[in-house]
Structures are given as structure tokens and as C-alpha cells.
Structure 1
Amino acid sequence: MVTLAEVARHAGVSASTVSYVLSGKRTISSQTRERVERSIRELGYHPNAGARALASSKSDIIALMMPLRTDTFVPVMMEIAIAVATTAREHRHDVLLLTGQEGPEAVRRVVGSGLADAMIMMDVELDDARLPLVRETPRPAVLIGLPADARHLTCVDLDFAATGRLCVEHLAELGHRDIAVVGEAAAVYERHTGFAERTMDGIRQRAGEMGVRILHRPCEGSYESMAGTLARIFDERPATTGLIVQNESAIGPLLSLLRAQGRAVPEDISVVAICPEAVAVQQSVALTAVSIPAEEMGRRAVELVMAKVKQAGGTRGPATAVAAETRIELLPPQLTLRSSTGLAPTHASAHAPSPSTPAR
């Protein structure tokens, strides 16, 4: 393994000069810096991360808090994580992935141990228990998600409320007046996960404005649970002609069940999904869908948190804390029309409520 002393000899400078080039603690002439950096490249020198962190109060690591739960659609989470990791490398940072469901304790561990220069948090709940600590610590942090109270926080997310409104608008404009929502697992709503709650807020708001009846039923996502959920929907609302699905795991079973029941898509029932584009286009019927911009969210979260690190001078600790600002970036939803939606069937018109019927 190449040592710092060997780099110094190769570049014809002192070991302290190499150290200053690496840490940036002192100004080094551009000619000397270039010579040292050339020697580092040619020799393949990699400074010890632990020693570098102690010397510079920097770790060049971003902690990504991504709790993995049984009710989480992991491919979307991993797509975000990959985008975070690749964008972090562009900023010469690595990513420490924390997948446990530790809540505030994970924040305390990162802050107290100095594991990372900054934090990115996922799976944000409306009243997330981690947020008081995030507001108190000088460690730069960005949320991929939007809590109920976003004061003094930086957040990036898809605008899920607008997503819900857009899905209702599309179906209502096609004449659908009874729409059922196949939602995430019940536990997602029980812990008030932001994206799911905000989608339903948007759905209910727009449905009320457009005289559409809404029936929301959570679903675990398995074939058996989807069968029970679908039976319940048609038992409670026989006139249902439109479905909004916000549960990637349930999409395949749903389409199979509709086909087995002889319900043609979209002739008998229209389906709109909120899911990754790859999921939408790989089904037996290509789905009209609002895609989840996972890559864009991950990339933007890193850009925002690195701007905070730079603003703080790249170091950590109370002396360099930056006054907390509120910054919310909501990505606008885009609905892509495919084969799964069409005009409401005429046989359902007799069951359709009047425009004054309130949404439920």
C-alpha cells in the first residue's frame, strides 16, 4: 500500500505539504498542488479514511437512512439509493446506508459518532419522531419526503397531493363517477407515512370538487389479499368503473384477478397506477400511470445536502452550524396515457351519482 511519505518523495515535497493538499487546511500554490495530485494519481494513493476524518473533521460520507420494512416496495427504495450513491461520488463522497428501523436513535448515532458529514432521510412520516433531532443538530440534512410540519427543514419529493388530484381528474374526465383506490398496506397508513397520506388528501379533494365517489381500501399486495380487497370493492360499490392503484406489489395480482373475473381493461374498468415507469409498461396491459421519479429525487437530495455542507464550510460541529431555512422542492407529477384507461362503460351510467354527491 502506498504511503503518504512515498507520495511526498515522488512529488519532491514534504509530507506536511501532501497532507495540506489533501485536507485543504492551508493554501498551496497551484503548481505544487498539481504536482502532488499527479503523484497521487500515478502511485494510486488512497488516504486512510479514519485518519483523514480525524485530521480534517470530515468523513466525506453521507448517511442515507432508508428503513427497510416488510410493507416497503424495495425496488423503488433501491433506485433512490443508487441515485444517491452515484451522485455522492460525483461530489467525492461515499454513502453509509442505514436500513434499520431505529428512528431517533439512528440520528443520535450518526451525530454522536461523527460517522457522516450529512444525512439524507427516507420513509418520512407526517409526524416523524426523527425531526426534532434533525432540527437541533448542526449536521446538514435533507428529507426525501414531506412531513406535516416542514419548518426549518429541507425536503424533496414528488408532489403526491397533486398526483392524487391528477389521477382523479383523468378518470373523471373519461366519465368515471365511482372510483376505488387500492392503497398501500394498512401499516403504511397507520404510521402516517407522508406520501400515502398526501396522495389520499389529493384524491379526496379533487373527487369532492368533481362529484366523484371515492372508496379507499388498503391492500397488503399479495394475490390473496388483492383478491379479498377487490371482492370487497365490488361488493361495497358495484358501480365502480375506475381504479387508482398506489401499491406496486398489488398491480400484477389485480390485473390477473380482473382478467379471471372477465372484466376487460379498459372496456369494463379503467386502471391508473402510481408506480415506477418500468412497472407500468411491463404489465399484461400497459398502465396509464404517474411514474415515481426515484432517480431525480435521489440526485436532487444529494445536491441539496452538499450545498448545505459547502455552506457550513465542509466541517462539522456547533461552531459551523448554519441557520436552518425551510426549503421544499416538490416535483410535479406527469401522467402518461397508455392502454389501461378509457371511457366509462355506458352500463354503469345508471349507477353514477349526480355531480353533487359528496366524496367519501
Structure 2
Amino acid sequence: MVTLAEVAKCAGVSSSTVSYVISGKRSISEATRRRVEQAISDLGYHPNAGARALAGKRSHIIALVVPLRTDVYVPIMMEIAIAVTVAARQYGYDVLLITNDEGPEGVRRVAASGLADGVILMDVELDDDRIPVLRTQGTHAALIGLPDDTSGLACVDHDFAAAGAMCADHLADLGHRDVAFIGYSPVVYQRHAGYAERTLTGFQDRAAERGLRILHRPCEGTYDSTAGAFARILADRPETTGFVVQNEGAIGPLLSLLRTTGRIVPEDASVVALCPESLAEQYSPRLTAVTGPAEELGRVAVDLVMRRIEDGTPAEVTLLTPVLTTRESTGPAPRTR
């Protein structure tokens, strides 16, 4: 491993000068600074995080609190985490992963230790019990998700209410009047996950405006649970011709169940999914889907927390606009059944 002394020798300066360039603690001439930076780049030197913290009063680390739950779609969470890591490196920061099962105590420990200069929270709930810790500790933080009270917070999220409304509008425009919403498992709604509740609220509000008759059925995402939800939908509202699915695990089972009950998609039943583009393209027929770029959530979150670290930028809420892409799974409502 390359040492600070080796960097100093390569640049023709003292070790203390290299430390000052890294920490910014003292003013160094432009020519000298460039020589040191070139030596760091040529040798591939990576300053020790502890040493940087002592020298510059910063650790150059961002803590990312990632969800560790069975009811989240792991590929999306990983895509966000990777985007955070890549964006952080562009600022010269490393990322420390913390699992959300540590709860408020984990956030308190990181904030109090000075181990990280900032924190990014994922999987934010409407009444998230980690947020009071951030406020009390005065931690530089960004949230991927919106709590009910965003005052004093920097947040970024997809506009899930708009996404739900888009689904209702699309099916209403196609002439569907009886529509079912197959959502996440009951526990997701019980813990008030913002992405689930806001999507459902946006869908319900727009459905009421468009005169749709709707049903909401939570679902674990397994074949059996999807079959149970589907059977209840048909028992309660046999005229249902439109389905909105916000549960990645339930998409495949729903398409299979529609086929086995003699319903052709989209001639007899239309399906809209809230899922990644890559997933929508995998099914036959390809799914009409409402999506948002997961990687942009990570990038914006890093930008937000870095602005908080650098200059205490005031709180702000950024909502990313969802996109509805029409494919083969939706069509005009059938005239007769």
C-alpha cells in the first residue's frame, strides 16, 4: 500500500505538505498542490479515513442506511446503493453501509461517533422514528423518501402520488370502469411505507375524479397470495377489467391467473405495473408500466447531503417525475364479457 511518505518523495515535498494538500488546512501554492495531486494520482494513494478526519475534521465518509427487509424489491435497492457509491466517489467520499434493522440507535451511533460526515436514509416511512434522531443530533442528512413532516429535511423521491394517478388516468382513458389495485403485503401499509401509501392515495384520488369503481387488495407477492387476492377481486367485482400492480412479485402470478381463467391480455383485461423498465420488458405481453430512474434517486441524494455538508444548504424536497410507457398489456375495455 502506498504511504504518505512515498507521495511526498514523488512530489519532492515534505510529508506535512502532502497532509496540508489533502486536508486543506493550510494554503499551499498552486504549483505545489498540483505536483502533490499528480503524485497521489500516479501512485494511487488513498488517505486513511481516520487520518483525514483528524487532519481535516472530516471523515470523507457518507453513511448509507439500506433496508434489510423481505418486503422490498432488492434489485432496486441495490441499484440505488450503487448509484450512491458512484456519486459519492465523484466528491472524493466513500460509503459506509448500515442496515436499517439498527433503527434509530444505529443512526445515533454513527452521528455521535463522527464516523461519517453525513447520512442518507433509504426506505423512509411516513412517521419514521429515525428522523427525530437526525434532528436532535443536527446530522447532515438526505432522505430517499418523504416522511409526513419534511420541515428542515433534504429529501428526494419519485412522485408516487403522480404515479398512482397516471395508472388511474390510463385505464380510465381506455374506457375501463372497474379496476383493481394489487399492492404490497399488509405489513408494508402497516409500517406506513411512503412509496406504498402515496401511490395508493394518488390512485384512489384520481380514480374518484374519473368515476372508477376500485378495489385495493394487499398481497404478499407469492403465487398463492396473488391467487387469493385475485379470487377475492373476482368474487367482489366480477366485472373488473383493469388491474394495477404495485408488487413486483405479484406480476407473473397475476398474468398466469388471468390466462388460466380465460382472460386474454389486453383484449379481456388490461394490466398496468409500477415496476422497473427492465422487468416490464421481460413479460409476455410486455407490460405497460410507470417507472422512475432509481439511479437518479441515489445521485440526487448524494448531491443533497454534500450541499448540506459543504455549506449547510437549506432543506429542500425534490420529486422526480414518473413516466408511463404504453406497451401490449393494456387496451380498450371490452364491450362485453
Secondary structure at the residue paired with 2:217? strand
Contact persistence 1:274–1:292 (CA under 8 A): no
In 1: Cα distance, 2:24 partner to 2:138 partner: 22
For 2:175, the equivalent position in structure 1 comes to: 175
Alignment partner, residue 355 of structure 1: none
SS of the residue corresponding to residue 102 of structure 2 reads coil
For 2:187 and 2:103, the matched residues in 1 are separated by: 16
1:44 deviation in Å? 3.1
How big is the shift at 1:245? 0.3
2 CA distance for matches of 1:142 and 1:257? Answer: 41
Pick the aligned partner of 2:321 from 313, 332, 346.
332
Partner of 1:209: 209
Whole-Å Cα distance in 1 between the matches of residues 7 and 124 of structure 2?
45
Structure 2 contact 180–215 (Cα < 8 Å) conserved: yes
Q: Unpaired segments of 5 or more residues in structure 2?
A: none
**What corresponds to 2:333 in structure 1?**
344
Q: Give the superposition deviation at 1:208.
A: 1.0
Identity fraction in percent: 63
Give the whole-Å Cα distance in 1 for the aligned partners of 2:182 and 2:30: 61
Partner residue, 2:24: 24
Distance 1:217 1:6, change over 3 A: same
Q: Which residue of 1 aligns with 2:225?
A: 225
Alpha-carbon RMSD = 1.3
Q: Counterpart of 2:115 in 1: which secondary structure?
A: coil
Structure 2 residue 265 is matched with structure 1 residue 265: yes
User: How far off its partner does 1:74 sit?
Assistant: 0.6
Runs of 4 or more off by more than 6 Å in structure 1? none
Q: How much has 1:174 moved relative to structure 2?
A: 0.8
What secondary structure does 2:83 align onto?
Answer: helix
Query: Equivalent residue for 1:130?
Result: 130
8 Å CA contact 2:124–2:146 kept in 1: the answer is: yes
**Deviation at 1:131?**
1.1
* 1:351 counterpart residue number: none
Mapped contact 1:175–1:344 kept (Cα < 8 A): yes
Q: Report 1:181-260 matches (<5 A).
A: 181-260=181-260
Query: Is the contact between residue 59 and residue 116 of structure 1 (CA under 8 Å) also seen in structure 2?
Result: yes
TM superposition score normalised by structure 1: 0.91
Opposite residue 144 of structure 2, the aligned amino acid is I
Is the contact between residue 243 and residue 271 of structure 1 (CA under 8 Å) also seen in structure 2?
A: yes
Per-residue deviation at 1:347?
Answer: 1.2
Matches within 5 A, 1:1-360: 1-312=1-312, 325-347=314-336
Is the CA contact 2:292–2:323 (under 8 Å) kept in the aligned structure 1? Answer: no
Deviation at 1:55, TM superposition (A): 2.2
SS in 1 for 2:336: helix
SS in 2 for 1:46: coil
Contact 1:185–1:221 (8 Å) recurs in 2: yes
After superposition, the C-alpha distances for 1:249-275 in whole angstroms (9 at most, x for unaligned) are 111111112112221101110000101
Q: Which one-letter code corresponds to 2:331 in the other structure?
A: G
Question: CA–CA distance in 2 between the matches of 1:95 and 1:125?
Answer: 22
Q: Which amino acid in the other structure matches residue 151 of structure 1?
A: S
CA deviations over 1:295-327 (Å, ceiling 9, x no partner): 111111111111111114xxxxxxxxx7xx331
Q: TM-score, normalised by structure 2?
A: 0.97
Match of 2:96, SS state, is strand
Distance in 2 between the 1:165 and 1:100 partners? 30
Worse-matched range after superposition: 213-222 or 40-49: 40-49
Per the TM alignment, residue 57 of structure 1 is displaced from its structure 2 partner at its CA by 1.7
Structure 1: gaps spanning 5 or more residues: 313-321, 349-360
Q: After superposition, what is the alpha-carbon deviation per residue over 1:166-187, rounded to whole angstroms, capped at 9, x for unaligned?
A: 1101101111111000001111
Q: Whose RCO is larger (CA < 8 A, sep 6+)?
A: 1
| Post-superposition CA distance 1:92-122 (Å, at most 9, x none) | 1111111241221121011012221111111
What's the offset of the Cα at 1:91? 1.1
The verdict on how the C-alpha distance between 1:31 and 1:132 changes in structure 2, with shifts beyond 3 A counting, is same
Letter in 2 for 1:155: C
For 1:72 and 1:42, the matched residues in 2 are separated by: 42
Task: State the alpha-carbon separation in 1 of the partners of residues 29 and 114 from structure 2.
Answer: 31
